[in-house]
Amino acid sequence: MDALLTESSNELELTLPEAYDLQLEIMNHPAKRKVICAGRRVGKTIMCGLLAVQYMMDGKRVLLSSTSQDQSDAFWEYITGWFYPLIESRTVYKNEVKHLLRYNGGQIRVKTGRHPNTLRSGWCDLLVLDECAYLDADAWNKVGAPMLADTNGTAIFISTPKRRNWFFQLYQQALSDTSGRWEAWNFSTHKNPHLSPEAMESLVADMTEEDYRQEILAQFLEGQGAVFRYIDERATLALREPYEGSFVFGVDWAMQKDFTVIAVMDTETRQLVDYDRFNGVNWSLQRGRLKTLYEKWKPDTIIAESNSIGSPNIEALQQEGLPVVSFETTATSKPPLIESLVLAFDRNEIAIPNDPIIKGELMAYERKITSTGRSQYSAPDGMHDDCVMALALAWHGATSFATWSPFIL
């Protein structure tokens, strides 16, 4: 990619590496918060460097940060190498000690972010946190976010995954966002068109299977205390169009912050074949969406959570003749409901779509032990478990179907 810069009557030529299609998609996307989970050697450093150059040329301030001095130095060497002729001619100002470039009122600053406080440097228009899965969450929460407040700036969180830490939660937040402010990408090293087969072979030669999945395929692996295991192994399906069979729905209701989810499961194959997920919709429209899905799949039974907001919807649907069964989620009923689904994953009795939202909720799901010794299951703070609950209700329906009577559970 060639950039032709104009300053007064002088034209300056700057030759930059050519970005490939996926890099361009990310660079040009309008989201203010971009979360990129990617394998090693996909060109993360070059992509972020190109975007930083674009911002500086537009007179804006950029802060690039990575976890180690070596990685920060790599950023610095790339960018100063691109600008070398302009630095030599003093068109672009360079401060080697501060790792600072300035041009046209804009600037690029490169820092190491291992300790969050080292990132403090006033405001900026673009903040790049490279390998942020290996940074402390305070690098964003307490330092990075306030730096963008005055400018309504853009943040890029880019990393290979590291189990299911705060970067995983950011990724899930971006997946669930419906405002357009957040966007998420997940892609493997194989997406880099410039990486030769020989280079790939050398890269993976001494990797374990776990290392390969995390570092090359960019998969979030199970951490200690994970509730659901074998998620990737069970996520082998695509969503289906309606077909002849026996089906059950699981329904988890919500209105504003959370999502209403309707899970459609084949009772014979135990496959999740379809689902609907939405929020910010009134009760009448929610029931309308459920009825539309009902007309498509003709389930034998619909298992719907009855807690508080669910009961009026269930009664209305029952009055219209839909085969809805209520399920009240309590501290007593929820653990066996979830644990039955956990066993289904462990025993390879269930299959689900390869869907990042469903997989993400399952991966993040937590188990805590109360003071009385009971298991307590939920999503981490700030995350969702609506898909998990709808799936658990559908599984309960599929495995208990023969014992049910209409409207009695």
In sequence order, what are the residues at sequence separation of 6 or more whose Cβ sits closer than 8 angstroms to the Cβ of residue 398?
248, 265, 266, 267, 270
Whether 172 and 383 have beta carbons less than 8 Å apart is answered as yes
Average per-residue pLDDT for the chain: 85
Q: What is the DSSP string of 119-134?
A: G--S--SEEEEETGGG
Same-domain status, 237 and 206: no
Q: What percent of the chain has pLDDT over 70?
A: 92
Same-domain status, 166 and 299: no
Same-domain status, 10 and 47: yes
- What tens digit of pLDDT does each residue of 270-314 get? 999 999 998 888 889 999 999 999 999 999 999 999 887 788 899
Residue 358 is assigned to a structural domain of this protein: yes
Question: From CA 165, how far away is CA 172, in angstroms rounded?
Answer: 11
Report the pLDDT value the prediction gives residue 175, as an integer from 0 to 100: 86
Same-domain status, 181 and 317: no
Looking at mean pLDDT, say which of 116-125, 135-144, 225-234, 264-273 comes out highest. 264-273
Lowest mean pLDDT among 2-16, 315-329, 387-401: 2-16
CATH code, domain carrying 387:
3.30.420.240
Residue 53 is assigned to a structural domain of this protein: yes
Short-list 164, 162, 113, CA closest to 142: 113
Last residue of a domain, one of 216, 239, 255: 216
Same-domain status, 194 and 239: no
Looking at mean pLDDT, say which of 13-27, 111-125, 209-223 comes out highest. 13-27
Same-domain status, 183 and 277: no
Terminal CA-CA length for the chain: 64
Same-domain status, 14 and 105: yes
100-128 mean pLDDT: 83
- Coil, helix or strand for 298? coil
Last residue of a domain, one of 170, 185, 216: 216
- What tens digit of pLDDT does each residue of 69-108 get? 888 888 888 888 888 888 888 888 888 888 888 988 899 9
Report the pLDDT value the prediction gives residue 303, as an integer from 0 to 100: 96
Last residue of a domain, one of 185, 216, 247: 216
Whether 56 and 103 have beta carbons less than 8 Å apart is answered as yes
- Coil, helix or strand for 159? strand
Report the pLDDT value the prediction gives residue 409, as an integer from 0 to 100: 39
Question: What are all long-range contacts of 146-151, with beta carbons under 8 Å and residues at least 24 apart?
Answer: 147/63, 147/119, 147/121, 147/122, 147/123, 148/123, 148/124, 149/123, 150/123, 151/123, 151/124, 151/125
Same-domain status, 162 and 236: no
Looking at the predicted structure, is the pLDDT value of residue 117 above 60?
yes
Q: Assign 163 a pLDDT band (cuts: 50, 70, 90).
A: confident
What is the value of pTM for the model shown?
0.67
Same-domain status, 328 and 255: yes
Same-domain status, 143 and 259: no
Paired with 304 in beta bridges are 251, 326
Here the tokens at position 377 are 């299951």
- Per the structure, the count of domains in the chain is 2
Paired with 13 in beta bridges are 4
Residue 30 is assigned to a structural domain of this protein: yes
Same-domain status, 78 and 112: yes
Give the angle subtended at the CA of 192 by the CAs of 136 and 156, to the nearest 5°: 30
Question: From CA 194, how far away is CA 43, in angstroms rounded?
Answer: 9
User: How far apart, in Å, are the Cα atoms of 41 and each of 189, 233, 299, 352?
Assistant: 6, 25, 47, 30
Residue 136 is assigned to a structural domain of this protein: yes
Paired with 33 in beta bridges are 155, 182
Whether 156 and 128 have beta carbons less than 8 Å apart is answered as yes
- What tens digit of pLDDT does each residue of 302-348 get? 999 988 778 889 999 999 999 999 999 998 899 999 999 999 999 99
CATH code, domain carrying 203:
3.40.50.300
Q: List the domain range (segments joined by +) for residue 305.
A: 231-403
Here the tokens at position 306 are 């009855």
Report the pLDDT value the prediction gives residue 258, as an integer from 0 to 100: 83
Same-domain status, 37 and 174: yes
Paired with 183 in beta bridges are 34
Q: In Å, how far from its chain's centre is CA 23? A: 18
Residue 226 is assigned to a structural domain of this protein: no
Residue 408 is assigned to a structural domain of this protein: no
Residue 354 is assigned to a structural domain of this protein: yes
Task: Please report where in the chains the tokens 């389930």 appear, as a residue.
Answer: 299
Residue 409 is assigned to a structural domain of this protein: no
